[in-house]
Amino acid sequence: MPTLSQDQFRVMFAESRTAFRLEHQRDPLPGEAEAFQHWLSGNPMVPWEWPPWRDWLDLAWRHVGAGGEIRRVRLVDDPPTPYQQWGIAITSWHERAGDHIRYLPCHAAQRLGIPVTNWWLFDDAHVVAMSYDSGEVPGKILISDSEVIAKYRTWRDLAVVHATEPAPT
Comparison of pLDDT for 169 and 27, the residue scoring more: 27
- Across the range 80-90, mean pLDDT stands at 93
What is the average pLDDT across 134-162?
Answer: 89
Lowest mean pLDDT among 16-25, 70-79, 131-140: 131-140
- Rounded to 5 degrees, φ, ψ at 81 are -65, 165
Q: Catalogue all structural domains in the chain, each as residue range(s) with its CATH number.
A: 6-31+50-162 (3.30.870)
> Could you tell me which residues come within 8 angstroms of residue 21 by beta carbon, excluding any fewer than 6 positions away?
70, 71, 72, 73, 118, 119, 120, 121
With bands split at pLDDT 50, 70 and 90, how would you rate the model's confidence at 137?
Answer: low
CB 22 within 8 A of CB 118: yes
Q: What is the pLDDT of residue 167?
A: 59
Helix (H, G, I), strand (E, B) or coil at 26: coil
pLDDT over 90 (residue 102): yes
Band (104; pLDDT cuts 50, 70, 90): very high
pLDDT reported for residue 55: 83
> For residue range 32-62, what is the model confidence (pLDDT) as tens digits?
888 899 999 999 887 777 777 788 888 898 9
Other C-beta atoms closer than 10 Å to the C-beta of 17 total 12
Q: Tell me: pLDDT of 108 over 80.
A: yes
DSSP count for the chain of H helices, then E strands: 7, 6
Q: Which of 1, 82, 101 is nearest to 42 (CA)?
A: 82
